[in-house]
Structure 1
Amino acid sequence: MSLDKVKVAVSPSLDELIKLVDSALLEGSMLTIFARCKVHYDGRAKSELGSGDRVIIVKSDGAFLIHQNKKREPVNWQPPGSRARLELRDKPVLVSVRRKPRETLEVELEEVYMVSTFRAEDYEELALTGSEAEMAEMIFQNPEIIESGFKPLFREKPIKHGIVDILGQDRKGNIVVLELKRRKAELHAVSQLKRYVEALREEYGEGVRGILVAPSLTSGAERLLRDEGLEFKKVEPPKRRGGKKGRQATLF
């Protein structure tokens, strides 16, 4: 099953498992695996957990959790900042490595019942509420944040394939599409930007630029931007609200 945010495989083949795990780790999606597995930990101590049915969760920040069917706390875990990968041995092994201090958690997947990826967007931090709108205000007030000579003209401009966050012009008169993300931008954001740019190029020709504006981006998003000839501008969202809204103008 595949949705915009969720991909699921029940009793996946090895190829399906590899594809979903690799895509989750590359895109920064949340990875969940229901499996019969063995667990080995090597770090400040050593531990072994025999075969049993467990839930394995790998979050976008590197947190790695293994839950049994009882109790609230994970039976094994790695903190945010750890790096996960899938290794193919006699059985597939999900490995999580923490560098300082050096710790390694290995999960031998004996039988995988289900694997899912979830491209979760969670903005519960109150200080960040509405910050993409605040980013747009900040750019209208200080367009040089994007580049010298940039002129923002429209905010939330409807076009053929969606709504452009900011539509403007550069100093040479080229149309510029800005896609704003208040957190680390992923492949989905690049795909959105690509669709908007392609739609506008159908109407106005090749003189259309696309810029992804975010505090950071995943390595997969960076590669796709480069492959598609799109651009990235590092911009941190404002810490608090304030200021007047930018004035809308006419593009042509």
Structure 2
Amino acid sequence: MKYKILEKPECEKAYELVEEALRKRATIILFACCRVEYEGRALSQLNWGERIILIKPDGSFLIHQDKKVEPVNWQPPKSRTRCYLKGDRLMLESHRRTPKELLSVEVRHIQFINYANVEDYEELEQAGYEKDMSDMIMKRPHIIEEGFTPKTREYAVEHGFIDILGKDSDGNLMILELKARKAGVNAVKQLKRYLQDMENTDNAYLKECKVQKKKIRGLLVAPSIMDDALELSEEEGIEFVSVEPPRELKRDKKITLDAF
């Protein structure tokens, strides 16, 4: 990894380092006192304070305070960064073309600035999310109940998308709402809205899959459920099924003779 670091540089030296880093498409980190203005879909202003400024080669521009996970201001990839000097201040600007947005940072009292040419070609692998639960249920529908037949995923209704739509062994319609973490009251309310959407609609899908509208069952599927959510689900006639999301990453899978 090639990198450069300057401690407590004058703004002119910092400007030269940023220009060099932008030419080399390097990742830039500044810890400095700055003031921030944003103009675009809205307007915002952040007065002087010590912050971390992170500029990535893909155009991402992030400003972090000493609290919270999310940046306080940011611009997405494909934004264009430029820098210039204004008196004794270093000015950084991030321009986004569509929609038009401008993030302007006035910098003073730089503690340190560095850039590095980072090499990282790996993609993040994830497990234990709703998508993984959905994949698992589609392959092994019996974990919901014997006789359950899933028909479709991400089915659009007025208030969102039903995670899995299917039918039970008696031909009743089943609406599954999946949560990879402990389910709360909001999950119950969300599922209730989906049930109302299906009950209030002469749905073409029901005709296509020839499911008689005898009964529409709502199932909240999650590892566990909060007490108040369980109480509400029982009041609304919503069923709860405890299912743990799979936790296995692809890289953990080993090829054995069972695969042949």
Name the TM-score class by shorter chain: 0.3 to 0.5
Which has more radius of gyration? Answer: 2
- TM-score normalized with structure 1 length: 0.48
- TM-score normalized with structure 2 length: 0.46
